[in-house]
Amino acid sequence: MTVSSERRTPDMDHDRVPDDAAVIERSRHEPEAFAELFHRHFDEIHRYVARRLGPDAADDVAADTFLAAFRRRERFDPARGAVRPWLYGIATNLVGTHRRAERRHLRALARTPADRAAPGPEDRVAAQVSAAGVGGELAAALRRLSPGDRDVLLLVALGDLSYDEVAAALDLKNGTVASRLNRARRKLRAALGGTDPMMITEESHA
Q: Is residue 3 part of a domain?
A: no
Instruction: Give the pLDDT of residue 165.
Output: 95
Q: Is residue 5 part of a domain?
A: no
Q: Is residue 146 part of a domain?
A: yes
Instruction: Give the pLDDT of residue 141.
Output: 85
Nearest to 152 by CA among 196, 95, 200: 95
Q: Is residue 2 part of a domain?
A: no
Q: Is residue 6 part of a domain?
A: no
Rounded Cα gap, residues 81 and 94, in angstroms = 20
Instruction: Give the pLDDT of residue 99.
Output: 78
pLDDT-flagged residues of the chain (< 50): 1-15, 114-118, 121-134, 200-206
Reported pTM: 0.76
Q: Are 40 and 71 in contact (CB under 8 A)?
A: no
Q: Is residue 4 part of a domain?
A: no
Structural domain total, the chain: 1
Helix count (H) and strand count (E) of the chain?
11, 0
Angle at the Cα of 130 from the Cα atoms of 127 and 133, rounded to 5 degrees = 165
State the residue range of the domain holding 67: 17-204
Instruction: Give the pLDDT of residue 143.
Output: 85
Q: Is residue 1 part of a domain?
A: no
Instruction: Give the pLDDT of residue 153.
Output: 92
